[in-house]
Structure 1
Amino acid sequence: MLWEEKEELILLKTPPEFSFTQNLHYLSRSTNECLYRIHDNKIRKAIIIGTCTTLVEIGEQDKHTLLIEFLGSTRPSSKRVREQVVAYIIEWLDLKTDINTFYEVAKNDPILNQAILQFRGLRIMGISDLFEAMAWGILGQQINLTYAYTLKRRLVEKFGHWIEFEGEQYWLFPNAKDIAKLTVDDLVEIKMTVKKCEYLIEVATQIDRGLLTKEMLLETKDVKKAEKILTKIRGIGPWTANYVLMRCLRFPDAFPIDDVGLHNAIKYVIGSELKPTKDVIQQLALPWKGWEAYATFYLWRFLY
């Protein structure tokens, strides 16, 4: 991905099939988001690289260029750290994926064709940290999205870290090491179920001890093998596993087929009064093979 530094700013070239507007709309879907802020059609986010915490503002200079600015006094003096910040943004915004193959699959598909017309340039916005992705999956189990955001905010504001700029706090998700030290009683104020508290601590402990890593999952090079590793962990079922493989590991064939939002989106697209059964979804998804994650992400977009 081409990028350059111009004085204290960074210019990052984006691929042709990328729409900053579409992705900004996705990132704006909840007013209760606590890990970034949308300000004047720009994204402000705290990013930690090693021991260095930066605050970046990402905006659009033109259709094919993003403008990245370090706010306050958070610009890293090390070029290597600045390179890692750019790499984080490239990963977060899914800029490396050649999405044209998915568009070829989708353009003649009766379920997907309208989605790619309406939301062209949308990418799968990532969650680069494995613990954060798994924690978000656990928090979202069997509750609506609105309450999931409430739980995330409580967790972040109680156990996370923040930096301040212009009187506002910019939060960083708590790391696995910090959560692994906790007990269920420590999490009681968040008002999660006891089971979710136990699952969260278990996942944090495994990641902190190096028993579960992104590298381990990526090395499988197979979504089913990676899913099997994750579902061996207490509290991680197929839905959570595939959500993590989709948002964090970037498996394009990860498929959270049991997702209620996916069911509602398909119901909307086909104009049905009833949600489709799992068997029906499996049949509808046959043409999507290899791109199930992107199909899911685009269909979700109809819901907000």
Structure 2
Amino acid sequence: MLWQENDEQIIINTSSEFSFIQNLQYLSRSTNECLFHIHENKVRKAIPMDECTPLVEISEQDEYSIRVQFLGNTRPTSKQVREEVVQYIIEWFDLKTEIKDFYELAKNDAILHQAVVDFNGLRIMGIPDLFEAMAWGILGQQINLTFAYTLKRRLVETFGRSIEFEGEQYWMFPRPSDISKLSVENLVGLKMTVKKCEYLIDVANQIEMGLLTKEMLIETSDIKIAEKMLTKIRGIGPWTANYVLMRCIRFPSAFPIDDVGLHNAIKHVTGSAQKPSKDEIQKLSLSWTGWEAYATFYLWRFLY
């Protein structure tokens, strides 16, 4: 992925299958988001690095590039750290994935063809940090999206860190070390179930002790092996595992087939009176092989 620095700005090149506005609209879907702010078609986010905390503002430069500016005095002096910031943004917006083949299969697919028309240029907006991705998956289990955002805000604003710029707080998700040392009693005030509190602490401990890393999952290069690694962890079922493999590990064949939102989206697209069964979804998705994650993400956009 090509990028260059220009007058203390960073310009990242994108492909023709990328729309900054489509992705910004996705990021805008909740008014209760706490990990970034959107201002006048620009998104601002604090990106935690080992040495510093850059606050970036990302906007569209032109049809084929995005512009990154460091706000306040947060521009890293180290070029290596600036490169790490760029890599975070590339991963967040999934800019390395070539999605032409997905568009080719989708344009002739009865379920997907309208989605790729309506949301052309959308990428799977990622969650680059493994603990954040797993925690978000746990928080979202068996509740609606609105309440999941409320739980995330409570967790972030209680145990996360923030920096201030122009009177606004820019929060960062808690680190595994922030949660692993806690007890259930420390978390129940957030109004999540005791089980979810236990799961979050367990996952934080696994990651903090190095028993689970993003690199371990990536190096499997195998969706089934990676899924099995995750589902061995208490509180991580197939849905959460595939959500993490989709949003963080970037396995294109990750497929949360039991997701209620996916079922409702297919119901919406087909105009059916009832949600499809798992067997029906498996038949409908036969042509999606290798692109199940993108198919799911695009269908979700009909609902949220």
Q: Partner residue of 1:69?
A: 69
- What amino acid is the match of 2:274? L
**Per-residue displacement from partner, 1:254-301 (whole Å, max 9, x unpaired)?**
000010100000000000010001110011011101100000000001
Give the CA deviation at 1:188: 1.5
Q: Partner residue of 2:137?
A: 137
Give the CA deviation at 1:181: 0.3
1:25-36 mapped onto 2 (5 Å cutoff):
25-36=25-36
1:259-278 mapped onto 2 (5 Å cutoff):
259-278=259-278
Give the CA deviation at 1:8: 1.1
- What amino acid is the match of 1:123? R
- What amino acid is the match of 1:225? I
- What amino acid is the match of 1:291? W
Give the CA deviation at 1:106: 0.8
- What amino acid is the match of 1:14? T
- What amino acid is the match of 1:299? L
Give the CA deviation at 1:105: 1.2
Distance 1:91 1:31 in 2: 23
Distance 2:243 2:188 in 1: 26
**Per-residue displacement from partner, 1:28-68 (whole Å, max 9, x unpaired)?**
00000000011111000000111210100000111111111
Distance 1:214 1:62 in 2: 33
Corresponding residue SS for 2:189: helix
1:59-138 mapped onto 2 (5 Å cutoff):
59-138=59-138
Tell me whether 29-38 or 45-54 shows the greater mean CA deviation: 45-54
Query: Runs of 5+ in structure 1 lacking a partner?
Result: none
Runs of 4+ in 1 over 6 A off after TM superposition: none
Q: Partner residue of 2:165?
A: 165
Corresponding residue SS for 2:252: coil
Q: Partner residue of 2:195?
A: 195
- What amino acid is the match of 2:11? L
Tell me whether 24-33 or 3-12 shows the greater mean CA deviation: 3-12
Distance 2:236 2:6 in 1: 45
Distance 1:243 1:6 in 2: 37
Distance 2:153 2:262 in 1: 24
Q: Partner residue of 1:234?
A: 234
Identical positions, percent: 74
Corresponding residue SS for 2:47: strand
Distance 1:263 1:240 in 2: 16
Distance 1:130 1:10 in 2: 26
**Matched pairs, number:** 304
Distance 1:177 1:295 in 2: 35
Distance 2:74 2:219 in 1: 34
Corresponding residue SS for 1:5: strand
Distance 1:118 1:192 in 2: 36
Distance 2:201 2:150 in 1: 19
Corresponding residue SS for 2:230: helix
**Per-residue displacement from partner, 1:153-190 (whole Å, max 9, x unpaired)?**
00000000000000000000000011000000000111
Distance 2:6 2:231 in 1: 46
Query: Runs of 5+ in structure 2 lacking a partner?
Result: none
Give the CA deviation at 1:218: 1.0
Distance 1:255 1:127 in 2: 16
**Per-residue displacement from partner, 1:124-156 (whole Å, max 9, x unpaired)?**
000000000000000000000000000000000
Q: Partner residue of 1:246?
A: 246
- What amino acid is the match of 1:252? P
Q: Partner residue of 1:221?
A: 221
Q: Partner residue of 1:50?
A: 50
- What amino acid is the match of 1:266? I
- Taking structure 1 as the reference length, the TM-score comes to 0.99
Q: Partner residue of 1:302?
A: 302
- What amino acid is the match of 2:20? F
Q: Does 1:212 align with 2:212?
A: yes
Corresponding residue SS for 1:23: helix
Q: Does 1:180 align with 2:180?
A: yes
Distance 1:86 1:154 in 2: 29
- Taking structure 2 as the reference length, the TM-score comes to 0.99
